[in-house]
Chain A
Amino acid sequence: MKKKLMSVLLAGTMVASLAACGSTATDTTTSDTNTNTETTTTETQTSDAGTTSGTQEAVRLLNGKPEINDQMQALAAKYLEETGNTLIVETIGGDTNASDELKKMYQADNMPDIFVIEANQAANWDGMLADLAGEEWTDKTGFELVDSSMGTIGFPYTVEATALGYNADLLAKAGVDPASLTSPDAWKTAVETLDSKKDELGITAVFGWCAEPTNLGWSSGTHVFAQYLDAGLKADDTTYIDLLNDGGQIDEARMKNFAEFIGMMNEYSDPALLIDGTYDNQVAGFKEGKYVFITQGNWCVTSPEDVDFECGFAPYAFEDGINTIIAGPPSYWVAYSNGNVDGAKAFFNWCAGDSAQNILVNDAGLVSPFDDCQYEAVNPFYKSMNSYITAGNYSGWHTMLKKDGLQNETCNVFADYAKGKLDADGFVSTMKQVISAYYAQ
């Protein structure tokens, strides 16, 4: 009898523990219908308060820029204050890529209502993104992401530009006019002048250019490569990206000119930075005035307090007459069509308005893509960037439309060229081979 009692007791405990496991399982399955209980990453303190008072269901936004997380939280607080609606900002930070995290969230049925994508990732989400056409904000910008099958899907939250960022004070001291840098010959003369005045200017090298592939592959493989695709082209001109996406073809003559220009950058770079450098070294060197040019964009110096000189952009003029920089939104916010689309639309309309732009522009240091935005960006590159944009001398971010992952292959070619393993012709032929092999896969 005792034994039986024992076994019943044990079985009872087991069943109870199973039930305990089971009840937590039900908790997780139900929580996805109730977004307010989510505590995956950083969350606003307002989310608890907002659930009851909000006129609409809370909207979850996945932010891919960890550097502006604090400002995004401020934005959420402002949104709650002005409209009574709740915005929950979750930030993907560090080395975690937002697109990887999104796939996990999708598998776990835990999708945010608004998330960040790059233009070439739109096809992966085919049929799952809401069409935002006709929304109020679309009339105020020309930068929205339009997809041929899904319509207007992307909300531009910032405009970024990349070209050769320069230190205007150093150029002035050396007597080089940045406006003249629109041909390979002009560049060559200017670079030689600067190089000969190295000691006088107190610089380490003319270019702060880093072709290290492990950590900075995105810079060479996506941003510098972008110049081959777009430099000198109008924003809607897709000649070379179309050629590339047509089975991975390249224009060899253009690539050769590009290679010559990169060769000049390799020659006049800081050798320590060129092959082994890091992003931090590169940006720090530019801020300290060790380099005249930097191969990054307006994101590398966001606050006027960081630098005591004037910044600007010069084009990668590897062919005569190239006078454009690449400018536009590198990534977009999109609304998940199975999520809270109305909430997302309401947020986008509010976000294009004055109080939201105030936070994004003045606090987060972003450049507004909206025509009626009254705030001038604090970014030190803004003046130069704006002069290109208003003159229409800007090209698109078509590099974001190349096949996903190509930059991981091409960045090695840049690195080999920098190390001297390849010459300009070798660069072109290897590029050609690597790209066509990648597209063939």
Chain B
Amino acid sequence: MSTFSSGRKAASFISLIAGIVLIIVGLGLSIAGTGNVYRGTMFVCGIILFFVGLYLFPTLKHHRSIINIIFLFPLLFAFIVTVIIPLILGIGYSFTDWNGITMKGFVGFSNYTRMFKQPAFLWSILLTFLFVVFNMILVNLIAFLLALLCTSKIKGLGFFRAAYFLPNLIGGIVLGYIWQFIFSNVVTKFTGTYSMLSDTNTAFIAIIIVYIWQYAGYIMLIYITGLNTIPGDVLEASSIDGANKLQTLFNIKLPMIAPTITICTFLTLTSAFKQFDVNLALTNGKGSVQFLGSYIANGTEMLALNIYSTAVINNEYALGQAKAVLFFIILAIVSIAQVRISNKREVEL
């Protein structure tokens, strides 16, 4: 018992108690909305005092874990404030009738039932899945072909790699406007018909084209890294055995970069699901289509954009939030599957 002086004990307990009191008062002032200028200072000083008290806490057994907590605290605090609390609040908002300004009350699950009764929303889900499937296949295929090209012995390799990667560095909104100009002012000059963007089906193809243009270069870089890691002796051995180029490709190269293919597939999968900026700038979701017996005006609107326009354009923040919760669940399932499969592969190899 004599390890700690009574002065230290007193300092610890006083700091702890004063810290807790200051935190509570600071929070209380904020929640009550008094507009007191010192409420933030109080809160921060309270936290600091609390940790000083914790640091001085008279224990030898738990001292190490206390230090760990103190060091972890800033990160955990930031994570909780920026991720966990908004997530919980968001789920909470999806059960209300919040319109972005006022909230009158809780409405239970009615937002969730309502969103599945909207043909436009169901169409958005369907369209997003279609988009994901098309992109997963096309982006990977084109990126892989580009990677093969950029690992061969052509001249100006550095230029090609940079050129293919460059579109990825341009923001989606800018890309959308550039391609909008190309589709409605340049392409039409050659085809002599209406712009691809004016019809739902062709506008959907247009979005896929732009997306591939933007994303294939990035995936290509990952494939190039994969192809470069194939050991030279394996390739040499296969050529001595008389394998031609196609045989080398299908029997040596592809199996050797299987983990890269998994990574790229999931990268395209998740990013295609979250497609928003090109969609917004290129078509803004416009386009008509007949679906489930009704005329739908947002023929090219994908899930993320549908959530945005529900909340922001139509002032239905709570409904948009409910859709976002569903979106979160879909993405969580995809990501968990991705991690599981990737881990399994790594064990196998």
Contact = CB atoms under 8 A, between A and B. Distances in A.
B195 A276 contact: yes
A437 B194 contact: no
A7 B44 contact: no
Contacts of B184: 276
B182 interface: no
Interface residues of B, number: 50
A434 B37 contact: no
Nearest to A271: B194
Contact of A416 (B38, B47, B99, B288): B288
A180 interface: no
Interface stretch (A64-72, A149-157, A393-401, A405-413): A405-413
Contacts of A421: 288
B198 A275 contact: yes
B48 A18 contact: yes
Interface stretch (A24-32, A36-44, A201-209, A327-335): A24-32
A9 interface: no
Nearest to A432: B295
Interface in B185-209: 185, 188, 194-195, 197-199
Interface string A111-133: 00000000000001110100000
Contacts of B35: 33
A412 B44 contact: no
B114 to A, nearest CB: 8
Contacts of B195: 275-276
B314 interface: yes
Interface string B127-152: 00000000000000000000000000
A357 B264 CA distance: 61
A416 B200 CA distance: 11
A404 B313 contact: yes
Interface in A261-288: 272, 275-276
A191 B286 CA distance: 31
Contacts of A29: 30, 39-40
Interface in B22-68: 30, 35, 37-41, 43-44, 47-48, 51-52, 55, 67
Contact of B44 (A14, A25, A215): A25
Contact of B48 (A19, A125, A212): A19
A433 B295 CA distance: 7
Interface in B96-143: 99-102, 114, 118-119
A107 B197 CA distance: 36
A111 B70 CA distance: 37
A11 B55 CA distance: 9
A103 B101 contact: yes
A421 B197 CA distance: 15
A212 B197 CA distance: 10
A46 interface: no
Given A404-B313, A405-B314, A214 B99 contact: no
Contacts of B198: 212, 275-276, 415, 419
Contacts of B286: 213-214, 217, 408, 411-412, 415
Contact of A430 (B39, B295, B315): B295
A415 B197 CA distance: 12
A424 to B, nearest CB: 16
Find the residue from A23, A100, A413 having the highest chain B CB count within 10 A: A100
A134 interface: no
B287 interface: yes
Given A217-B286, A276-B188, A412-B286, A15 B40 contact: no
B309 interface: yes
- Please tell me the size bucket of the interface on A: 35 or more
Contacts of B12: none
B288 A106 contact: no
Contacts of A272: 188
A129 to B, nearest CB: 11
Contacts of A437: 119, 294-295
A342 B183 CA distance: 52
B67 A7 contact: yes
Contacts of B339: none
Contacts of B295: 413, 430, 433-434, 437
B297 A22 contact: no
Interface in A86-119: 97, 100, 103, 106-107
Contacts of A103: 100-101, 312
A22 B40 CA distance: 7
Contact of B197 (A15, A125, A214): A214
A17 interface: yes
Contacts of B188: 272, 276
A22 B42 CA distance: 10
11 contacts: A10-B71, A14-B70, A19-B48, A29-B39, A124-B99, A126-B102, A214-B286, A217-B284, A405-B315, A413-B295, A437-B119
Given A10-B71, A29-B40, A103-B101, 20 more contacts: A11-B67, A14-B70, A22-B40, A26-B37, A26-B39, A30-B40, A97-B312, A124-B101, A213-B286, A275-B195, A276-B184, A276-B195, A276-B198, A404-B315, A405-B309, A408-B309, A411-B297, A412-B297, A419-B194, A437-B119
Q: Which 5 A-B pairs have the closest CB atoms?
A: A22-B44, A26-B40, A412-B297, A405-B314, A409-B297
Interface of B: 30, 35, 37-41, 43-44, 47-48, 51-52, 55, 67, 70-71, 74, 99-102, 114, 118-119, 180, 184-185, 188, 194-195, 197-199, 282-284, 286-288, 294-295, 297-299, 309, 312-315
Interface of A: 7, 10-11, 14-15, 17-19, 22-23, 25-26, 29-30, 33, 97, 100, 103, 106-107, 124-126, 128, 212-215, 217, 272, 275-276, 404-405, 408-413, 415-416, 419, 421, 430, 433-434, 437, 441
